[in-house]
Structure 1
Amino acid sequence: MEPSVNFYIQSNSTQFKVPTELIKKNFKTAQKLIEKQKKQLASDVSKIQKNPSLPNSMKLEMIRKLIKSFETFQKKLQQVVDKDKEYRDRLTARFDNLNQLSQFTIENDDHSHDTDHDDKILDHHNSNLINWYRDQANILIIDYLIKSNVKTEQSIGMKLLHNLSAVNPKFMKLIDYDLFENFNKIYVSIIENHDLSLVIWWFEDNRNSLKKINSNLEFEINYCKFLSFIQDGKTDEAIKFSQNHLSKNGNISNYSNNEINNYYKNLEKLKSIGGLLVFLALNETDNDLLFSSSLVKNSSRFHSYENLLSDDRWTNLSEVFIENFTKLYGISKNYPLFIYLSAGLSSLKTKSCYCNYENTIFFNENQENLGITNTLLDKKLRGPNHYYKLLNKINHCPVCSPEMFKLSRNLPYAQLITNIFNNPYKLPNGNIYPFDKLTNPTDKYLSDKDSLLRDVKIRDPLTREIFSMEDCIRVYPA
């Protein structure tokens, strides 16, 4: 069945979430800016009114500062207004992009399945629709490249976006490139540079919104900062920092009912760093100098704490950041490109696709001859050529390709029916044959047919496996 208009509307609905969230956030920024300016203006005017004895020159200077402050406010407010317009333009562009599908529809002559739905279907012979599909594919590819390429410089996704936008400017409004560029910068600063400055800035900028989704990001940031002090040998600073920023996380009264899980996770981490501090205290030198981090890590007694100072803490922080970021903006954790590819691959995948446990034709007596090991993850079996060459067969299946192997290996098999035969039976290995073919095999297996039937057994014509008839199930075409 070809995709319908409703399919594309539902699959692209997530494109509207990010601009909507950005509009909400921008509106709150405008509110804060206006409130701040009102308070400042009222305070400045009050100072002038309450001091009538001030010299006129000083009053004039205060008024000039007030005017200058208001001009700065106007510029900031205009920037907020421009952002609001930009985000609304993105929503409009995405609506117009989907609305184009109405131009590529034809009347549906088959009314048998239509009740409340429109009678029009997509005309897949329309060249303009094919061009629309091509643009959608480009959008999916750019989206994937921008999100997955964490390099802040020379981004492949941004290069492709700018190249396509030179021909068709609408691409800039169909992808939230700026948001993901910012995401990449913060992610790289955490995972590669071990720098907390950007993620702290992002947290402060979104503190209220993160509180609503029960974020644990603040604790993870402070946890990493504490361990960085320890790693640098700054034990005193670490203790003071812990008292001011971490100790409160051990009190359950500081958590709401929805944050109880965060409390128990944080409590375990607090216990571990408490043990780390005790160990450091026991290993101070006679001169009361701080024990160096290098000696600490080389100590056999430190083995149970060494993981605390490993890079795992940065990985954990990056994962919490990703979870909060995607949840805050309503972004799917899965790449839309992978969702579309998975749908296509699952419609093509059969038991003959790459070597796997359920593809029994590659095992038994053939296994030793082909040199196939009993593992799906064996790298030498990836791709369309290795075992097919050994079988003297040619395969150009996308499911088997090295590029799609990882994505397709966990997908379900397609329920493909090339023809419908009478009295179909399903064997335990999943293969389906007409019952006559099972009870009356070809001449190749005719010699043992009678003995098998006497034992109430049958042989799979393809894999040559033998099964009891009791284990076979009659099936019916849908």
Structure 2
Amino acid sequence: MADLEAAKINHDNHLLLDQPCLRLPYELLRKNFRSIHYPLEWDSTSVKNLLKETANGSLNGKTSPQDVVKNLDQMLVKMRGLKRKLTAAAEEEDRLYRQMDSRVAHLRELADLNTVDDVKYEAWSRQRLDRLLVDYMLRHGYDSSAIALADERGMRDLVDIDTFVVMSKIRQSLEGGSVQEALAWCNENKKELRKMQSNLEFMLRCQQYIEMMRTGSQTKMLEAIGHAKKHLTPFNETYPVEVSNMAGLLAYRPDTHLEPYASLYSASRWQKLAETFVEAHLKLLNLPMTPLLHIALSSGLSALKTPACHSTQAQVRSESQQDELQNGTTPTPTATASSSNHPHHRQHHHHHGTASLTTRVCPICSTELNALARNVRYAHHGKSRLLEHDLVLLPNGRVYGRARLDEYAAKSGLAAGQVKDLVTGEVVDVGELRKVFVT
């Protein structure tokens, strides 16, 4: 009964992870509508007014035939331009609807499955894993690898390549010392950023001011003052401290060590700007800040995490390095093994330099996942129906039911008073076994 319950698919929990898969096309549809809504109204109103003015002038004889023809040409140019905008918007809308259809069909496949033992679930979960990998690579700038994986798996409509590629280009431009692309993006999304109370545009304008001041040129400094009056002074009530610091920057050169001006001139501000842009971009599209792959991994890591995974790790590393120093060897900085009492890897722990063995056994203590698992909560198991009765602990840290050990010992032909580890084959005296109590 417990196995059947464990194998049953919880569709609601699955959909929690897959919400962004459906949300982003919807957000992009809204953005696409907003991008064409105002130009459509503006151009339509302009053409109607010009048509009305031309018709009235022609009837009253106030408009010459040459002016009528000229006005008609203007109206045709505007309508052709509007047609191009509407065509592009319609194509984008068709693409987004196609994405939504593919994603709904993908999630509908999950709705038709009931247990993880279904052979179709393995294929579906593999495709979802590929989606998570593409999402992770796109967020970290590995665009070509993400595109190659998406094309190989034939799932372009299930991932958001175009959106993240644009984000990656703007982020790289900021890291390279250019704010033009980011400012253009802010201008496109001005109203939404204002509703979010984002300070991205203000920070970009501040960086423009700083770069003008960095040159030390009298002409650039005068240009910087004009820039500050136009773009920074309007934010005086919202960011009074920052605006004051910008004003104070006039008295300091880039080689100053006085704070906060030294930090304002620091090259690390470009990286901070890039991170601020990524945060604003994801928030604007209602996407999580954390990669979906990390969210999926965290749930599994939580089920495996024990207090021993991190609580004694630093102490064991320090002791290991001290032993290596006493033996005349160089301490290993990558040793990440935790306490030898850790249930996941106690059987592999030796006293000298065997951290690599322990990290292979315990995923939480591995070099790759240790940092990710550090802030993950411990698993809370209200009930466990899968534990054997009369559990005992072997000296190597493995736990088995006593009946199973006795049965295996009898099959192995061991002497009375001895049992054998089912995995390692290690023979242990019964007197070395310790009773295990589960609370």
Query: TM-score, normalised on structure 1?
Result: 0.68
Asked whether the equivalents of residues 150 and 185 of structure 1 are also in contact (C-alpha less than 8 Å), the reply is: no
Distance 1:371 1:162 in 2: 52
Q: Counterparts of 2:223 and 2:350 in 1: how far apart (Å)?
A: 61
Match of 1:208 among 174, 184, 191: 191
CA distance in 2, matches of 1:215, 1:407: 28
| Corresponding position of 1:140 | 132
Distance 1:475 1:318 in 2: 52
User: What's 1:159 paired with?
Assistant: 148
Letter in 1 for 2:123: N
CA drift at 1:237:
0.8
2:204 matched to 1:221?
yes
Within 5 A, what are the aligned runs for 1:361-372?
Answer: 362=316, 369=323
Q: 1:328 to 1:366 in 2, by over 3 A?
A: closer
2:166 corresponds to which of 168, 177, 182: 182
- Given the alignment of the two structures, is residue 381 of structure 1 paired with residue 335 of structure 2, yes or no? yes
The 3 A distance-change label for structure 1 pair 386 and 403 is: farther
Q: Is the 8 A contact 1:89 1:173 kept in 2?
A: yes
Distance 1:365 1:61 in 2: 88
Residues 19, 50 of structure 1: alpha-carbon distance in 2 compared, 3 angstrom cutoff: same
| Aligned amino acid, residue 25 of structure 2 | P
User: Who is 1:32 aligned against?
Assistant: 38
- Distance 1:91-1:366 versus aligned 2 partners, 3 A rule: closer
Distance in 1 (alpha carbons) for counterparts of 2:370 and 2:321: 21
Contact 2:323 2:352 in 1 (8 A): no
Q: C-alpha displacement at 1:158, in angstroms?
A: 1.6
Distance in 2 between residues matched to 1:24 and 1:418, nearest whole Å:
52
TM-score using structure 2 length: 0.73
The alpha-carbon deviation at position 59 of structure 1 amounts to 2.5
Which of 104, 115, 123 lines up with 1:131 in the alignment? 123
Amino acid at match of 1:66: M
Q: CA offsets per residue over residues 402-456 of structure 1, 9 Å max, x none?
A: 322322344344569854559x9xxxxxxx9xxxxxxxxxxxxxxxxxxxxxxxx
Cα shift readout 1:200-253 (whole Å, capped 9, x = no counterpart): 1111111111111112222112111111110122111111111122122223xx
> Counterpart of 1:328?
284
Q: 1:40 to 1:371 in 2, by over 3 A?
A: same
Unaligned runs of 5+ in 1: 106-121, 166-170, 252-262, 281-295, 373-377, 425-431, 433-460, 463-473
**Alignment partner for residue 345 of structure 1, among 301, 307, 328?**
301
1:46, distance to aligned residue in structure 2 (A): 3.3
Q: Cα distance, 1:179 vs. partner?
A: 0.9
Supply the distance in 1 between the matched residues of 2:351 and 2:132 (Cα, whole angstroms): 32
Code of the aligned partner of 2:249: L
Aligned with 1:321: secondary structure?
A: helix
Q: Which residue identity lines up with residue 289 of structure 2 in the other structure?
A: K
- Alignment partners' CA distance in 2, 1:393 and 1:19: 44
Where does the alignment leave 5 or more consecutive residues of structure 2 unmatched?
A: 1-5, 327-331, 338-344, 393-398, 400-431
Of 241, 246, 249, which residue of structure 1 is paired with 2:232? 246
Q: Return the offset for 1:305.
A: 2.4
Percent of pairs identical after alignment?
22
Q: 1:307 aligns with which of 251, 263, 284?
A: 263
Contact 2:335/2:356 (8 A) holds in 1:
no
Q: Match of 1:60? A: 69
> Is residue 388–residue 394 contact of structure 1 (8 Å, CA) maintained in 2?
no
| AA aligned opposite 1:202 | W
Of 1, 7, 10, which residue of structure 2 is paired with 1:4? Answer: 10
Q: For residues 104 and 150 of structure 1, do their structure 2 counterparts lie closer, same or farther at Cα, with a shift above 3 Å needed?
A: closer
CA distance in 2, matches of 1:276, 1:102: 60
Paired amino acid for 1:137: L
1:274 to partner: Cα distance: 2.2
Give 1:89 deviation, angstroms. Answer: 2.4
Equivalent residue for 1:71, pick from 71, 80, 86: 80
> How many Å separate the matches in 2 of 1:229 and 1:7?
52
SS of equivalent residue, structure 2 residue 368 = helix
Moved more, 46-55 or 380-389: 380-389
Partner residue in 1 for 2:20: 14
Q: Supply the distance in 1 between the matched residues of 2:19 and 2:256 (Cα, whole angstroms).
A: 56
Give how far 1:75 is off. 2.2
When residues 390 and 365 of structure 1 are mapped into structure 2, their CA distance, relative to the original with a 3 A threshold, is closer
Shift of 1:130: 0.9
AA at the equivalent of 1:268: V
In 2, distance between residues paired with 1:360 and 1:240?
54
Q: Distance in 2 between matches of 1:379 and 1:387?
A: 17
| 1:389–1:145 CA distance, 2 compared to 1 (3 A) | farther
Partner amino acid for 2:153?
A: L
Which among 363, 368, 374 is matched to residue 403 of structure 1? 368
- Which position in structure 1 is the counterpart of 2:248? 275
Report the CA distance shift for 1:391/1:59 in structure 2 as closer, same or farther (over 3 A).
closer
**Pair 371,344 (structure 1): closer, same or farther in 2 beyond 3 Å:** farther
By how many angstroms is 1:67 displaced? 2.5
Match of 1:173 in 2: 157
